[in-house]
Amino acid sequence: MNIPLLLKYAYSFVQSKTGFKKFGKRSVIKYPFRIWNKSKIELGNDVFIAENSFFAVSTAFKKQKFNPRVVIGNNVSIGSNFFLGCIDGVTIEDSVIISDRVFVSDHSHNYEDSKVPIIDQPLKAEGKVLIKSGSFIGVNAVIMPGVTIGTHCVVGASAVVTKSVPDYCVVAGIPANVIKKYNGKIGKWIKN
C-alpha cells in the first residue's frame, strides 16, 4: 500500500469516528464519503456504510433553520452511493439491509410559486421516515418523505415508495404496491 493511500484511509478512519452524536462499536464508514452535520447522527453498533455515501443532514437552507435527527440502529448494512436527505427525522432500526444507490429523504423543494426558481424556494418537511427492523431495501429504491417501512419488509429493486408499508410485506413498482404479504396463520408468503 502506498503512503498517500494509507493517509487517505487513516484520514477516513479518524473523520468517520469523530463529531457524531453517537458512533457505535465496530461501526465502519468506508472512504470516500460526505456527511453534513455529524453531530445530528447516531450510529449503533456493527453498522457498515459502503463508499460514496452522502448524508445531507441540513440544519439550514437559505433563511430556514432545522433541527434534524438521524438514527441508525445496530447491525445495519448500507450499500455504496447511498443518499440520505434529512431536515426533520430519519430512523433506520436494527438489522436492516439497504442495497446500493438507495435514496431516502424526509423533505422536498417547494415549487408552488411559478415565478421563483425552485432552488430559491424553501425546503418543505413532509414527514419523518422510519425503516423498521429486519427489512431489506433493494438496489436503486427510493423512499419518499413521510413513509414508514414496516418490520421484516422487502422493497423491490427500483421501487419508489410513496406511502407507508405494513409489517411483513413485499412491495415493488413505481409507485410501489404490496405484491406479497406474510400470513402468520399458515406460515407462508401469499401473493396480494
- Alpha-carbon span 180 to 142, nearest angstrom: 19
Backbone angles phi, psi at 186, to 5 degrees: -110, -5
Grid cell, residue 124, equals 418543505
- Alpha-carbon span 165 to 159, nearest angstrom: 12
Q: Which residues are catalytic?
A: 109
- Alpha-carbon span 78 to 46, nearest angstrom: 11
- Alpha-carbon span 6 to 159, nearest angstrom: 38
Q: How many CB atoms lie within 10 A of CB 108?
A: 14
- Alpha-carbon span 46 to 76, nearest angstrom: 7
- Alpha-carbon span 145 to 104, nearest angstrom: 8
Grid cell, residue 71, equals 438514527
- Alpha-carbon span 33 to 50, nearest angstrom: 8
